Amino acid sequence: MNDYTWGSVYWMYSLMGLFATGAIFFLVRAIRSGAVANDEAPKYRMLEDDLPAAAAGAKGGTHDQQA
């Protein structure tokens, strides 16, 4: 009788180990490079960039209305 259970168990555990090792590797690499240090910064930069345009629009309408 052939038992394929052990082969599939070893295969699945090695695949899960490979995925977990890869995830940990890329997480550590991202932390060391500083990619996750200040992940909210782009949102605040975008909001700060929009402030002058919003202030100009509130003063006198849009650019299409001004000639």
In the predicted model, is pLDDT for residue 59 greater than 60?
Answer: no
Structurally, the chain folds into a number of domains equal to 1
In a domain, 53, yes or no: yes
The C-alpha atoms of residue 32 and residue 27 are separated, in whole angstroms, by 9
In a domain, 33, yes or no: yes
Provide the domain limits for residue 34: 22-57
What does the pLDDT look like over 7-45, one tens digit per residue?
888 999 999 999 999 999 999 999 999 888 887 887 787
Amino acid found at 48? E
In a domain, 46, yes or no: yes
